[in-house]
Amino acid sequence: MSEVSPKKRRKMWYKPAFKAEWLQEPEFKDWLKRDSTNGNNSYCICCGISIKNANKSMSLAHKNTDKHKRNFESVKSSVAITSFLKKKAEPESPKIAKAEALFAGFSEHHVPFAHVTSHQAIHQARDEWMSDVNLNVFK
């Protein structure tokens, strides 16, 4: 009889990769994202580092480090720079936009508004698009 050798079990190795569903979980959604240079890696927004070959437990371990906790509190308490930038308001109507463009030309050459109200081009255009514009001078 021939002897049957026992089958060797091979260990299954896998390369840990970032999973998009992690971003839905509360412990990851505030600070974790996919690394833009390598899609298999995770990226910590707070620390600014790529977590290579990180599975879920490695990402949680990073979250519990002192450095990450310190950076997370700093980021959470900071104000985004976009909050200081005002969104450019769009003109209320094309009439107002045309009037603003016309007045910009006068103000560039330091022409007083008293002269602007008597300017022939404005009087010609008044019926067309200047009816909504108020040229009162306030001191």
Q: What is the pLDDT of residue 29?
A: 85
pLDDT above 90 covers what percent of the chain?
A: 8
Count the Cβ atoms, other than its own, within 10 Å of residue 46: 20
The amino acid occupying position 28 is: F
Burial category of 31 from C-beta neighbours within 10 Å (exposed 0-12, middle 13-18, buried 19 and up) = buried
- 16 pLDDT band, cuts 50/70/90, is confident
| The amino acid at 108 | E
Q: Indicate the pTM of the whole model.
A: 0.50
Give the number of other Cβ atoms within 10 Å of residue 129's Cβ: 16
State the pLDDT at residue 131. Answer: 58
Question: Given a cut of 60, is residue 100 above it in pLDDT?
Answer: yes
| 46 against 115, higher pLDDT | 46
The pLDDT value recorded for residue 30 is: 87
What confidence tens digit (pLDDT) does each residue in 25-74 have?
Answer: 888 888 899 888 888 888 999 899 998 877 888 888 999 999 999 999 98
CA distance 41 to 50: 6
